[in-house]
Homo-oligomer: A and B are copies of this chain.
Amino acid sequence: MTSVEEPARPGERIRDAARTRAEILDVATAEFARAGYDGARVDEIAARTRTTKRMIYYYFGGKEQLFTAVLERAYGVIREAEQQLDVDHLDPVAAIRRLAELTFDHHERHPDFIRLVSIENIHDAEHIAASEELGRMGSPALDVIRRILAAGQESGLFTADVDAVDLHAMISSFCFFRVSNRHTFGALFGRDLVAPGRREHYRAMLGDMVIAYLTAERAAD
């Protein structure tokens, strides 16, 4: 019989604040996205980590702050993706389509992000309100849209009288809903909006919709 007291491997447990913090954030993201804020269990997060619950309180202070940190990181990811976007060499129509597809792809690839945002809305965005970081964090996408829109309207190509924020809402709504409401929509209408086989179909549909709206012939007024 080996001694129970004997540690499995001495020295394996190396202290690394950054790694521990990051690991907690990873696990917490999955747990909050899985079960919602109130459904998520701090003990469960701790159990799936190589550390203990004590560390969650040590690094983050509490469940609320942990959720806020999770949100901050999740929003940081999409902000980074938007910053990578370079559409200055494209004509307005292609540029808008490219931007819409970026949102489409990001939302599809990050269903946990969508769930976290849904959860935050159920809580009236109070964690965003409590976060300094999320307050200052602007939206690169909005700047891009503003530039494209100005060019398109200038040239007369875009006839719609719409501003960047509303256009962003239009694009986001389609991309977001497709992921966020996947389950109820699927259960009620028998169609999986996120089925891989329909991906290109919806991606094209989004672009067509936005371009059609922006370039539609309008009655003079």
Contact = CB atoms under 8 A, between A and B. Distances in A.
Contacts of A123: 36
A216 B209 CA distance: 9
Interface residues of A, number: 57
Most buried by B among A38, A168, A184: A184
A25 to B, nearest CB: 19
Contacts of A128: 183-184, 187-188
A173 interface: yes
A142 interface: yes
A102 interface: no
Given A39-B37, A173-B177, A213-B213, A166 B117 contact: no
A144 to B, nearest CB: 14
Nearest to A114: B121
Contacts of A191: 165-166, 169
Given A166-B205, A177-B169, A178-B173, A184 B125 contact: yes
A169 B142 CA distance: 25
Interface string A26-47: 0000000001111100000000
Counted per complex, copies of this chain come to: 2
Interface in A186-201: 186-189, 191, 193
Nearest to A33: B122
A181 B187 contact: no
Contact of A183 (B36, B120, B176, B186): B120
Contacts of A135: 187
Q: Which 9 A-B pairs have the closest CB atoms?
A: A173-B177, A125-B183, A212-B216, A38-B38, A38-B39, A212-B212, A128-B187, A125-B187, A209-B213
